[in-house]
Amino acid sequence: MVAREVARRRTFAIISHPDAGKSTMTEALALHARMISEAGAIHGKAGRRSTVSDWMEMEKARGISVSSTALQLNYRLDGPDSDDITVINLVDTPGHADFSEDTYRVLTAVDAAVMLIDAAKGLEPQTLKLFQVCRHRGIPIITIVNKWDRPGRTPLELIDEISERIGLTPTPLYVPVGIAGDFKGLLDRTTGNYIRFTRTAGGATIAPEELLDADAALAKEGDDWINAVEESELLSEMGQDHDQEMFLAGQTSPMIFSSAMLNFGVRQLLQTLVELAPPPQGRAAIDETVREVTDPFSAVVFKVQAGMDSSHRDRLAYMRIVSGEFERGMVVTHAQTGKPFATKYAQAMFGQTRATVDTAYPGDVVGLVNAMALAPGDTLYVDTKVQYPPIPSFAPEHFSMLRAESAGKYKQFRKAIDQLDSEGVVQVLRNDIRGDASPVLAAVGPMQFEVVTARMKTEFGVDTSFQPLPYTLARRTDAASADELGRQRGVEVFTRTDGAMLALVSDKWRLQYIEKEHSDLTLEPLVATAD
C-alpha cells in the first residue's frame, strides 16, 4: 500500500529570482490540475485577484512571495476523466533574497526543483544561490524558461549561459516555435510534432492546444517551424538530448519554454514532473542509517507558521512525511524531547485554505495545528527511534533592536516575539544590559524586519519600531571569552534563544584586529548555507 502510494507522488519546489513569475506559475499549475477554475492575475493590480499561494497582505501589496506555502494537486496525466492520478506536492518558496533561509528549509523537504528563469534576464543572483543549495543537496532540477510571450533572448543563448555559468547541461524537451515575444507553440523533440497554443482572455483559463504533425506545422508556421527544427537538430548534434540517469545525478536539466501568464507550456511541465521527477526516497538519519519509505512512520518539520488565518490564532507546523503511513490521531514521538505528540488536528493545505487530512504518505506535506512544541528541523516518528539531521541556520548580517511603542502592550509584545522566534522568522538575541524589553533581532535580510513589524501589528495589535545596530558580523563565542569580548570596542555579546552565545562585531576590520590581538578568544563562523 505505502509503496504504491509513494510511486505516484512527486514533491518539488519552484526556485527563482524575484519577478521571474514563480507565483504565477504556481497558479497556472493549479489551474491545469483543475484545482481552481480561474487563474489569479499579477499581484497588486487594482481589481484583479492575487495568487492562491500568496496570502499575506504584504505579499499581495508588493507582488512578491515572502513566505513559503504548500499546495497539493491531484493531476490526471491522461485527462480529467483518467483514473491514473499523480499526487503533486508543490511547496512555493519566497522569491526575495532576504528570505533565503525560509527557502533553504523548503529545499530540505522536496525531491526535485523547478528552476524558473526569465527569458529576457537569464540567470540572476538569487537563482544562482538557490541552484547551489540544490546541487549541495543533490536535488535534480527541471529548468523552465518563462515569459516567452515577451521579448527576450534566443534559446541557444540561454542554454549556453546555463552551461557556462553553473555547469548544468540543459537538455530541452521542447523547442519554442516563434521568437521570444511571439510565442506560437512548442516542437516536441521526442515525437517531432507541433503543439500549437491558442491564447485565452487574460490567460485566466487553460490555453487550448492543437497537435500537428511536422508537415502540417511547416504549412502553418513556415520559417518559424524550420528554425525550431534546426535548433532541435543542433542540440542533438551537441549531445543535449534527455538522459534520465544524468538528470537524476544532477548533471543535466530537462528544459521547457513557457508563458505562465498565458498558460503556455504548463501542461508540459506537469507531464515532465510526472514522468521524469523522482518519487520520494529514503532519508539518512543522524546516525547515518537510512529510513526507507516503507519503514514505520517518520517525518521532518521544515517550517512553522502562524497568522495564516486572521479568524484563527493558531500555529501550523509543516511536516514532510519521510516514511510510512500517517493517520490522523496517531500518537507519535517527538525525537528532540522523547515526549509523545498527538496528531488529532492534521490538515492538508492549499495556500491559505485548509482541509482535514485523515491519511498521508511519504512525500506529502501535512500541517499540524497548534503544535507549540515543534520547531523547524524536528523529527517525529513511531516504533523504532529515528532522528534526522537538524536544519542549519544562516549567518545573520542585519541587526536591529525592537521596541514596543506602548508599554501597556508589553505582554502581547513578549508573546509575539516568542512566536516569531519559534517560527524562525528572525533570530532573537538578548543580554543583561538591554534586557527583555528591547531584544535584538538578527536577520539575513532587512525585509525580514518589515515582516516582523507587519505581523506584530496585524496579529498581535502591537505597534513597534526598530533601531538599527552598528554591527555587520556575528561569530559564535563562549562564556570564557565573553567578558573580554564585551570590553572590546565595536563588539557586543548576546545569547540566542537556543543558548548559543554570539558576538556581534561592527565590521571585518575590527574582527581581524581582535583575532590578531586576542587569538585565545573563541570567535567561530556561524553555519552559513546561503552561498
The torsion defined by the Cα of 68, 72, 73 and 74, in degrees rounded to 10, comes to 170
Residue 92 counted as an annotated binding residue: yes
Distance (Å, whole) CA 31 – CA 480: 58
Are β-strands 339-342 and 501-505 bridged in parallel, bridged antiparallel, or unpaired? Answer: unpaired
Q: From start to end of 410-463, where are the E strands? A: 427-430, 440-443
| Amino acid identity, position 210 | E
Residue 43 counted as an annotated binding residue: no
Start-end of H helices in 191-314 = 214-221, 223-237, 244-248, 266-276
Are the C-beta atoms of 244 and 189 separated by less than 8 Å? no
Are the C-beta atoms of 418 and 412 separated by less than 8 Å? no
Give the residues across from 316 on adjacent strands: 305, 369
Residue 94 counted as an annotated binding residue: yes
Q: How many residues does the chain have?
A: 531
Distance, CA of 150 to chain centre: 26
Give the residues across from 212 on adjacent strands: 194
Distance (Å, whole) CA 166 – CA 132: 9
Distance (Å, whole) CA 506 – CA 137: 33
Are the C-beta atoms of 35 and 73 separated by less than 8 Å? yes
Distance (Å, whole) CA 63 – CA 23: 9
Distance (Å, whole) CA 473 – CA 516: 17
| Amino acid identity, position 276 | L
Q: Name the residue with cell 505581523.
A: 455
Q: What is the DSSP string of 68-115?
A: -EEEEEEEETT-TT-S-EEEEEEEE---SGGGHHHHHHHHTS-SEEEE
Are the C-beta atoms of 189 and 175 separated by less than 8 Å? yes
Q: Name the residue with cell 572590546.
A: 488
Q: What is the DSSP string of 217-246?
A: HHHHHTHHHHHHHHHHHHHHHTT-S--HHH
Are the C-beta atoms of 395 and 112 separated by less than 8 Å? no
Residue 338 counted as an annotated binding residue: no
Residue 24 counted as an annotated binding residue: no
Using alpha carbons, list the distances in angstroms from residue 94 to 14, 101, 236, 486: 9, 9, 36, 37
Q: CB-based contacts of 184: which residues, under 8 Å, 6+ apart?
A: 177, 178, 196, 197, 221, 224
Q: Considering only CA atoms, which of 13, 134, 127, 133 is closest in space to residue 528?
A: 133
Distance (Å, whole) CA 485 – CA 481: 6
Q: Name the residue with cell 512525511.
A: 321
Binding-site residue ranges: 92-96
Binding-site residue ranges for GTP: 92-96
